[in-house]
Amino acid sequence: MKRFFLPALILLVSILTAPSLCQDAISKFAPKAELIFIGTILMPRASTIDAQDVSWLAVVRMDEFLYGPKTYMNFVGKNITVQLKEPEKAKAKSRSLFFATGWYFSGDIGVIEIGRMPIDAAMDIKEIVAMIGRVRQEAEDDELILRLSQAQLVVRGRIIDIKRVPGQNKLSEHSPNWREAEIEIGKVLKGNFSGRTIKILFPSSNDVMWYNSPKPQMGTEGIWLLKQFTYAGKKLELLTAIDKADFLPKSDEERIVRLLKK
Amino acid sequence: MKKYIWSFLGLAAVALVAFLASSIDLQKDEKPVVDIEKTVRVLKEAGRPLVYHKLFGVERVTVVNMIPNAQSDETGQDSEPNLAVDPSDTSRIVGSAFTENPSGNLTSAPIFISTDAGTTWAMNNLLPSGNGMTGDISLDFAREDHTLYTGILRGGSYLRMMILRSGDPFGSTMMTTLRDYSSEDRDQPYMTATTTEVSGVNNDRVYAGFNDLDNGGNGRTASVEYSLDARTAAAPAGFSPTVVETRNAYNQDMPAVRWTVHGSGVVYGIFYRWVSDSTPNPKCDVIVVRDDNFGSGTNPFTALTDPGDSIAGRIVVSGRIVPAFYDASGNMTMLGHNRLVASNLSIAVNPKDSAVVYIAWADSDYTLHVRRSTDSGANWSSDLIKIKNATNPALAITTSGRVGYLYQQLTGSDPNYRWETHLRRSNDGKTWSDMILADTPDNDPAPAWQPYIGDYCDLIAVGGTFYGIFSASNIPDSANFPQGVTYQRNADFTTKKLRNGDNTADVDASIDPFFFKITPPSVIDYCDLYPNRCQLVELERGRLILEVQDLPFVGVDPVSKNCLVKWDCPGCGGGGFLCPPYYHIYLEDINPADWEIQLLTKFGDPANYRLTPIKTGLVLSFRPSSKLYREKEIGDYYLAFESKGDIQKRPYVIRTKLEVSDFPFDEHLMRQKDIKE
């Protein structure tokens, strides 16, 4: 009887503690991971890619893809190379939940482990995927909270006028070619502003540096996260929305209002 | 009797190969046509078969789409490419373009890497970024010891120029930041590097031309950030900026500031000084500066003065209209779908004669001009060649003085313009050959942003080989690539469609970087045509004999033939894990001091291999590329043995064996030791 008791106890403890261990690992690593997958280490200190030093590497079969860019989905069922955090602890045939960042792309791929936890058949993969989804959503909310905190003014509105800004100083192929846009304000979501309209600057250039910046057109409606911006050593006179994520659809208003309260 | 016939044939073959190699020295130096004719005459007089005459005209043109197979789904606009070839190991090449990090990470950006002389490419995320890619980027290797230097505008940070260094751009360690101008506006860093020996120690001398938009009110913005010993020191590793413009400019100098450096210490720079008139038709001078000691003196880059005003900086042409930037309505000046921003400059010094320097620039109706100086920049020729409606000039000069000239020319008519990417070459600057590398549409894909194909592309010469990179539409149509092309990403040349990663759907056309290489004929060409004559015909197992009859001696041994006799060559089915596996070729009873041993691909390029000394000789270790691998024959590789120094004329017997492994040699040895213990 005694000899069954200890293994049974271990099994029970592991079943009870596994979800919380899993939750801890996901909370810690998922926000930074670009790729999350379940994989089996086939061979430590080996590589599928062209690497001379394999001491930190392992060949891992990607058993299930859980999160990441579509590129990685093509490698499900295939062997990839993982640069391990603790290669000395890697054991062949062990199955783990891998959290990784991208590194090397050729015909094969190499990724860099940022975290890993052992996984066994008893674990509910659907629940793990759901946990990852929740953590990623929280991470995205945190990013938006940070962005909102950095904005001086957050307004919902519509573009009613656009003008060219003359007299730009030094030129480069990356000159922003500033335009002035006037927003008719529907609602101020953050900041003190009592006017009916506000003028902002935006880069009209489609240079590689600016093409992702919001390029409002006459009639464009949405939510602008407006900040002061320094360019070419000078603080711009008007507020701007430079980053792609500084303009959001008006359907995001409820989420923004909720996050502004946090 | 048979044995004697084989031996005789073998001796004849080895002697012939040695004779060919020693007389034409094709690997190291591309000889002008006259030398080839002389060699043919010698061969004829010696009674050799004249079929080789055709061989000498052969050169290999390789064009490769650099997007890796794992990125078959990508549709990014990978424009404005740049290239660096490691001069001390030309199998190692690095490229760049406006390419997004494939993993979606915004804090790093990729470079392209090849360890097999450009046959295959991978992407390696080593660059710091704020948006998953870079702004402007250029790169160069030092001449010795493999260090890569990179200048970037950090992605997501506007005109934040950074200078970076990596001792191993093929590994996973992020590049080291040597300079980071986070609060100043600096544009278009363009790298040039070399190595020189100082008191027995190699120093890397590195030059980053850039436009210092923060510099004062007199418009003197053409600058260089440089270091005389950049390789090992901590940041800033000796880098500091110097303004090289010595005259006031109308508003500023234009973005491109390019450099070329000669091993003797002579450094040339070129830039456009904006002298009058507003955009989009500013008038500019083309100015060349020079330093004769790497820029190490108290007044660097002032060795060349203009005869007109005696001020440093030779004005080669003056008051030329250089269409650039925006018109009064804010519309960008364009050539086809690619913008014009006064970045069309290139300069190259002859590696064998520092007084000979070529320049290229663009002006007027977008005409490219090439001129030459043979007296260190004091006097300049008239136009050697003019090309209309063209952009992105890039010059390079081989060790035999042959000039290569890469550019992209807009042809056809609206709305069906096309971009022709040309490589012209000349031995004398007067007569130019013309090779079209690509002829691709200007309107498919539509531009996502600017630049569409780039404000520059790149051409490099190492030895007698030209290496280059350009960006163009990636539609897989053989007619678009007259010299042929290889795609790594999935592509269907029958339907002329790109395919996705699992080959289940079409992918839209986009702009991709294309690597190319023009390799002069080599001894391998001979072996390709007459493989039986290149065998070392020792029929005994485990032995390789070099019958040295003449010096210098070059022997070439096709690796696949060895699998018939000398070794057992298990392939992927041999119980191992990797396919193709690593092969470790033991070469014992050989004095490494007497022999230069190389592994070459069938294209004559050095393969990616390591030589490890062991107690009894050497081990040459490599993993064949999947393109050249052949099951149970290892693949299309050649062992080349070149005598060093004055060795004795006699047969050299080398014991050889082969080990196959899932691991590089060091690891392989360790595992074998584990097994034995």
Predicted confidence at residue B523, as pLDDT, reads 53
Co-location of B313 and B407 in the same domain:
yes
Domain with residue B497: its CATH number is 2.130.10.10
Q: What is the pLDDT of residue B470?
A: 98
Q: Which domains does chain A have, with CATH numbers?
A: 30-136 (2.40.50.120), 151-260 (2.40.50.120)
Task: Give me the helix-helix angle, B2-24 and B33-45, nearest 10°.
Answer: 150
Question: Distances in Å between the alpha carbon of B604 and those of A222, B118, B622, B640?
Answer: 60, 12, 16, 10
User: How would you class B555 by CB atoms within 10 Å of its CB: exposed for 0-12, middle for 13-18, buried for 19 or more?
Assistant: buried
Domain that holds residue B653: 2-19+522-676
Q: What phi and psi, each to the nearest 5 degrees, are found at residue B269?
A: -130, 155
If pLDDT is split at 50, 70 and 90, which confidence band does A96 have?
Answer: very high
Q: Do A106 and B122 touch (CB under 8 A)?
A: yes
Q: Are residues B157 and B12 in the same domain?
A: no
Residue of chain B whose Cα is closest to the Cα of A165: B330
User: Which pLDDT score, from 0 to 100, does residue B645 have?
Assistant: 74
Gap from A175 CA to chain B (nearest CA, Å): 9
Do residues B242 and B300 lie in contact, with contact meaning Cβ atoms separated by under 8 Å? yes
* Sheet of strand B314-321: strand arrangement: B253-261, B267-276, B283-291, B314-321
Chain A residues with beta carbon closer than 8 angstroms to that of B171:
51, 53
Side chain identity at B555, as an amino acid letter? G
Contact B335, B246 (CB under 8 A): no
Burial A202-216, CB ≥16 within 10 A → b, else e: bbbbbbbbbbbbbbb
Residue A209: list chain B partners with CB under 8 A: 135, 153, 158
Interface-testing mutation among A35, A208, A212, A240, with chain B (most B C-beta atoms within 10 A):
A208
Residues of A in contact with B72 (CB under 8 A): 74
- Contact across the interface for A71 and B450, Cβ inside 8 Å: no
User: Do the beta carbons of residue A158 and residue A186 sit within 8 Å?
Assistant: yes
pLDDT at position B45, please? Answer: 58
**Taking CB atoms and an 8 Å cutoff, what residues of chain B touch A163?**
none
B102/A106 touch (CB, cutoff 8 Å), yes or no: no
Three-state SS at B36: helix
Please report the number of interchain residue pairs, chain A to chain B, with beta-carbon separation below 8 angstroms. 168
Task: Look at residue B78 and tell me if it is in a domain.
Answer: yes
| CA distances, B376 to each of B9, B267, B547 (Å) | 52, 10, 48
What pLDDT does residue B518 have?
Answer: 92
CA of B506, closest CA in chain A: separation in Å?
A: 15
* B78-116 as b/e: b if 16+ CB within 10 A: bbbbbbbbbbebbbbbbbbbbbbbbbbbebbbbbbbbbb
Contact B383, B399 (CB under 8 A): no
d(CA B154, CA B180): 9
Give the pLDDT score at B5: 37
Do residues B626 and A107 touch, judged by C-beta distance below 8 A?
A: yes
Q: Residues B210, B463, B193, CA angle at the centre, nearest 5°?
A: 25
Residue B124 to residue A103, Cβ atoms within 8 A = yes
Q: String of b and e for A92-121 (b: at least 16 CB within 10 Å)?
A: eebbbbbbbbbbbbbbbbbbbbbbbbebee
What integer pLDDT is reported at residue B522 of this predicted model?
A: 59
Give the side-chain half-sphere CA count within 13 A for B515. Answer: 27
Instruction: Classify residue B426: in a domain, yes or no.
Output: yes
Chain B residues with CB inside 8 Å of A106's CB? Answer: 68-70, 120-123, 488
Tokens of A124: 């509910």
Identify whether the C-beta of residue A172 lies closer than 8 Å to the C-beta of residue B211: yes
Q: What is the pLDDT of residues A208-260, one digit of tens each?
A: 999 999 999 999 999 999 999 988 778 899 999 999 999 999 999 999 999 99
Which of A34, A105, A231 lies closest to B71 in CB terms? A105
> DSSP for B104-144?
--SSEEEEEEESSTTSS-EEEEEEE-SSSSEEEEEEEE-SS
Q: How does residue A159 score in pLDDT terms, banded at 50, 70 and 90?
A: very high
Helix (H) or strand (E) holding B55: helix B52-56
DSSP chain A: -HHHHHHHHHHHHHHHHHHHHHHHHHHHHTTT-SEEEEEEEEEES--SSS-S--TTEEEEEEEEEEES-GGGGGGTTSEEEEE-SSGGG--TT-EEEEEEEEEEESSSEEEEEEEEEE--TTS-HHHHHHHHHHHHHHHHHHHHHHHHHH-SEEEEEEEEEEEE-----S--TT---EEEEEEEEEEEEES----SEEEEEEE---BTTTTTS----TT-EEEEEEB--EETTEE-SSEE--SGGGEE-GGGHHHHHHHHT-
CB contact under 8 A, A211 and B449: yes
Tell whether B609 and B514 lie within a shared domain: no
If one counts the domains in chain B, the total is: 2
From the CB of residue B578, how many other CB atoms can be counted at a distance below 10 Å? 18
Is the same domain home to B591 and B549? yes
Of A105, A112, A212, the CB nearest to B172: A112
Same domain for B453 and B554, yes or no, is no
Chain B environment of A171 (Cβ under 8 Å) = 251-252, 279, 324-325
Stated as kind and residue range, the H or E segment containing B397 is strand B390-397
C-alpha distance from A186 to closest chain B C-alpha (Å): 30
Q: What distance in Å separates residue A139's CA from the closest CA in chain B?
A: 14
CB contact under 8 A, A34 and B330: no
pLDDT tens column, A11-62: 555 555 555 667 889 999 999 999 999 999 999 999 998 887 889 999 999 9
- B352 and B487 fall within a common domain: yes
Q: CA–CA distance from B74 to each of B77, B113, B404, B485, B636 (Å)?
A: 9, 18, 32, 19, 31
Reference B516, options B482, B490, B539; nearest CA is B482
B375 and B501 part of one domain: yes
DSSP per-residue string spanning B277-313: S-TTS-EEEEEEEEESSTT-SSSTT-S-B-TTT--BS
Partner residue opposite A102 with nearest CB, options B69, B125, B185: B125
Q: Which of B497, B519, B541 is at the close of a domain?
A: B519
Task: With CA atoms as reference, report the closest residue to B375 among B347, B345, B349, B405.
Answer: B349
- Mark whether B459 and B528 lie in a shared domain: no
Same domain, B72 and B9: no
Q: What whole-number distance in Å separates Cα of residue B232 and Cα of residue B227? A: 11
Are B243 and B223 within 8 A, CB to CB? Answer: yes
How far apart are alpha carbons B446 and B302 in whole angstroms? 45
- Residues found in chain A: 262
- Establish if B197 belongs to a structural domain: yes
Q: Is residue B85 part of a domain?
A: yes
Chain A positions touching B608 (Cβ under 8 A) are 50
CA A177/CA A205 separation, integer angstroms? 5
Burial group, residue A157, by CB count within 10 angstroms (0-12, 13-18, 19+): buried
Report chain B residues whose CB lies below 8 A from the CB of A104: 122-125, 172
Contacts of B213 in chain A (CB under 8 A): 170, 172, 232
Helix (H) or strand (E) holding B2: helix B2-24
Q: How confident is the model at residue A9 (pLDDT cuts 50, 70, 90)?
A: low
Cis peptide bond N-terminal to B236, omega within 30: yes
Tell me how far CA of residue B601 lies from CA of A179, B553, B607, in angstroms.
56, 20, 6
Whether residue A46 and residue B329 make contact (CB cut-off 8 A), yes or no, is no
Residue B14 confidence (pLDDT): 39
Would you call B158 and A209 a contact, using CB atoms and an 8 Å cutoff?
yes
- Would you state the pLDDT for residue B22? 36
The pLDDT value given to residue B532: 44
CA distance B299 to A75: 57
> Are B130 and B230 members of one domain?
yes
Asked if B120 and B95 count as a contact pair (C-beta separation under 8 A), the reply is no
pLDDT band at A82; cut points 50, 70, 90: very high
Boundary of a domain, candidates B461, B496, B519:
B519
| A174/B450 Cβ within 8 A | no
Name which of B158, B335, B515 to mutate to probe chain A: the one with the most chain A Cβ atoms within 10 A of its Cβ.
B158
> By CA distance, what is A33's nearest residue in B?
B105
d(CA A246, CA A98): 32
Is B488 inside a domain boundary? yes
| Alpha carbon of residue B170 to chain centroid | 16
Q: Which of A74-88, A147-161, B367-381, B629-643 has the lowest mean pLDDT?
A: B629-643
Judgement on whether residues B466 and B593 belong to the same structural domain of the protein: no
Q: Which of B530, B517, B581, B527 is nearest to B556 (CA)?
A: B527
In tens, the pLDDT along B132-148 reads: 999 999 999 999 999 99
Q: Do B181 and B194 belong to one domain?
A: yes
Instruction: For an interface test with B, give the residue of A32, A79, A93, A173 to mutate (most B CBs within 10 A).
Output: A173
Residue numbers in chain B where pLDDT is lower than 70: 1-58, 216, 521-540, 552, 574-575, 603-604, 674-677
Boundary of a domain, candidates B519, B549, B578: B519
Distance from CA of A209 to the nearest CA of B (A): 6
Contact check, Cβ <8 Å, B279/A171: yes
Residue of B nearest to A60 (CA): B577
Q: Which residue does chain B place closest to A106, by CA atoms?
A: B122
Classify residue B42: in a domain, yes or no. Answer: no
Query: Taking CA atoms, what residue in A is nearest to B76?
Result: A208
Classify residue B30: in a domain, yes or no: no
Q: Which amino acid is at A186?
A: G
Residue B392 near residue B344, CB atoms below 8 Å: yes
- Which residues of chain A make contact with B103, given a CB cutoff of 8 A? 34-35, 68-69, 71-72, 101-103, 111
Is residue B552, in this structure, part of any structural domain at all?
yes
Amino acid letter for position A184: E
- Nearest-CB residue to B578 (from A48, A73, A101): A48
Q: Report ipTM for this prediction.
A: 0.89
**Helix (H), strand (E) at residue B180:** strand B176-180
* Residue among B115, B125, B341 minimizing CB distance to A50: B115
Does residue B546 contact residue B651 with C-beta atoms inside 8 Å?
A: yes
DSSP assignment, residue B469? E
* Tokens matching residue A247: 């303009």
> Which residues face B267 on adjacent strands?
B261, B291
Question: Which of the 8 DSSP states describes residue B103?
Answer: T
| Alpha-carbon gap, residue B340 to A171, rounded angstroms | 13
- Strand, coil or helix: B259: strand
